[in-house]
Chains A and B, each alone.
Chain A
Amino acid sequence: MSAARAMLCDTARAVFAEAATAGMAPVEEAGFALLLVPEAEGGFGGDWEDVNAVLQIAGVTVPGLPVAESMVSDALLPAATVSLMAGAMGQALALSIEHVSTRQQFGRPLGKFQAVQQSLAVMACEVRAVEAAAAALAARLDAVGLDPAAADFEMAAAKLRANRAVGVVTAIAHQVHGAIGFTREYDLNRVTIPLMRWRGEHGNDAYWAARLGRQVAGLGGQGLWGAMTAR
């Protein structure tokens, strides 16, 4: 990660931590709405990779605030949601690893049981897939000057892939946590409930699958590979 982006992430972590209790005011003061605005116009001059990084942090710390809405145009909200989801899934995985490493049953940490290990491996694959989808979508958006129409294929594929990961990720995270994860107090629900919400927002599975499927049908069997490798 570049030094500039690392700094941006540090700022985002600090600002969002404050916003978690104070609401949108600190986010607005810090100027996150100007992240994508060119420097010449008084903005930060960031790209979608910056947005992706910032929103992954927002997805963990302030899932209930309209951070994405304040930063990007409506047409790009599906892409922004993929980043939020990637962040939240990463956090669900981190909480799960932490929990199974400390919680003991049968005289051992849960993570020493092979059944638990295998479940978390499955979950980790889904999380990694969504992180990859978010990153690849970011690269495409940056390559086409953030034109949502030119990134329609990637936006559809990434949002659909993220939606489909939600079931596996939330189910395994809750399963390995046991009852503690089902409490209001414990942090897990602060990422799993938003994940359930985001799955249905800015295009559910049926919407993006049909849209992408029709686009690919127009390309034909060979054309799909040609299109995928051309961009």
Chain B
Amino acid sequence: MHGWADMQGFALYPFDPPGDIGALRAELRAWLAVNQPQRDIVARANCWASFDADFSRALGAAGYVGMTLPIRYGGGDRHPLERYVVIEELLAAGAPVGAHWIADRQTGPLIVRYGSEEQRERYLPGIARGELYACIGLSEPGAGSDLAAVRTSARETAEGWRINGQKIWTTGAHFSHIMLALVRTEEGSERNAGLSQLLIDLDTPGITIRPIIDMAGHHDFNEVFFDDVLVPHGALVGTRGQGWQQVTAELGLERSGPERYLSSHALLAALIDAAGADPGPAVAVLVGELTAEMWTLRQLSMSTAAKLAAGEDPMVEASVVKELGNAFEQDMPRRVQAIVDGPWDDPSDLGRLLRALLIASPSFSLRGGTREVIRGIIARGLGLR
């Protein structure tokens, strides 16, 4: 079904958003020129990890968050490819979209697809305003690449679901209002059977969130403990026992977006600016090579987005985008460092961006599925597994 054969061919899936895309870009760029906070340049790199509640709210008020959600829930009822254009512009500009990022990218669409009417009314308007933030509760200490090893349990009782267990590496749990968690609802079930998704309000008693500081010194991810946490019956998302299938669909949204090749765009732009209009041969060659890769990735990413928007499930293509995008972004700082002279604590924009991205880059092929897992999905698409 996800075969390699049907993604091969002579043409790309046509990227054809409705309406005047040039005008949409121009409006957003004009809006950003006024509203994007003039923060440190380093914050422009990897900007989907940059938290700024005021910016998220302003962006929501301007209609650029929850764009594809239905109007009756506060969304914009826009085409997914219009949203794609907005997202790539925000990332290329290095806008601080981290606060609402996950809610906008996957939690909102997932609630539309699987959520109950009550959940839609309760959560979607806040998401569309850019005020309600979400985190993803998949990984556990014993369940990393092997996600089917999830052990956090939820037992149905007369009052609701009683949750016990622990999640880890949960990005943004410390500022999020809700977690979409994958939990084991069927006692004694094994592997990917018996799992369900629950939408958990993070201010529920019994939840403890502890920071984990990453190697860049940032507090982005967390440990989240559940100690006899009681949530209502209505917290169940979609079908009981279908959590695995629902999560797999969610990961498709997570893997193919433009963030997989635009996280380091600020570094490329800084390199170009530092080199000036008449660059030396080594810089010119590197800029040429990086541009060729980025241009190609953009074509692949747009084609995959178009396929997703048309209701297909381009699982393998999404993985190709992530694999190539991660490799591109991990390579870029290394290759820039190879030709740019400067001390480790170089205070220039280029120097600081370079250091920040060198340190951030190991995470690119871990978050959202490791390189090995992604290559395994592609190999399955090739018919090898």
Residues of A within 8 A of B (CB): 1, 5, 49, 52-53, 56, 90, 97, 100-101, 111-112, 114, 116-118, 120-122, 124-125, 128-129, 131-136, 138-139, 153-154, 156-158, 160-161, 164, 205-206, 208-214, 216-222, 224-225, 228-230
Contacts and interface: CB of A to CB of B under 8 A. Distances in A.
Given A210-B281, A220-B273, A161 B296 contact: yes
B333 to A, nearest CB: 16
Contacts of A101: 383-384
A213 B283 contact: yes
Contacts, number: 175
A132 B378 contact: no
B292 A132 contact: no
Interface in B248-299: 265, 268-273, 275-279, 281, 283-289, 291-299
Given A210-B281, A221-B269, A161 B292 contact: yes
Contacts of A230: 22
B10 A56 contact: yes
B277 A217 contact: yes
Given A90-B8, A125-B324, A212 B288 contact: yes
B330 interface: no
B241 to A, nearest CB: 30
Interface string B322-334: 0110000000000
27 contacts: A90-B8, A97-B382, A100-B384, A118-B379, A121-B374, A121-B376, A125-B323, A132-B299, A133-B299, A157-B291, A157-B295, A160-B292, A161-B293, A164-B292, A206-B285, A209-B285, A210-B281, A210-B285, A212-B288, A213-B279, A213-B283, A217-B276, A220-B273, A222-B269, A224-B272, A228-B295, A229-B88
B12 A124 contact: no
Contacts of B281: 210
Interface residues of A, dominant DSSP: helix
Contact of B300 (A118, A132, A211): A132
A1 B11 CA distance: 8
Interface in B1-23: 4, 7-12, 22
Contacts of A49: 10-11
A217 B294 CA distance: 15
Given A121-B379, A125-B320, A213-B279, 13 more contacts: A117-B375, A121-B374, A157-B291, A157-B292, A160-B292, A164-B293, A209-B285, A210-B288, A213-B291, A217-B279, A217-B284, A220-B277, A225-B92
A216 B278 contact: no
B25 interface: yes
B85 to A, nearest CB: 8
Contact of A128 (B89, B273, B320): B320
Contact of B284 (A120, A210, A225): A210
A68 to B, nearest CB: 15
Given A118-B375, A157-B295, A132 B323 contact: no
B385 interface: yes
A224 to B, nearest CB: 6
B379 A120 contact: yes
Top 9 A-B residue pairs of the complex, sorted by shortest distance between their CB atoms: A221-B269, A213-B288, A213-B284, A209-B288, A117-B379, A212-B288, A121-B375, A121-B378, A213-B287
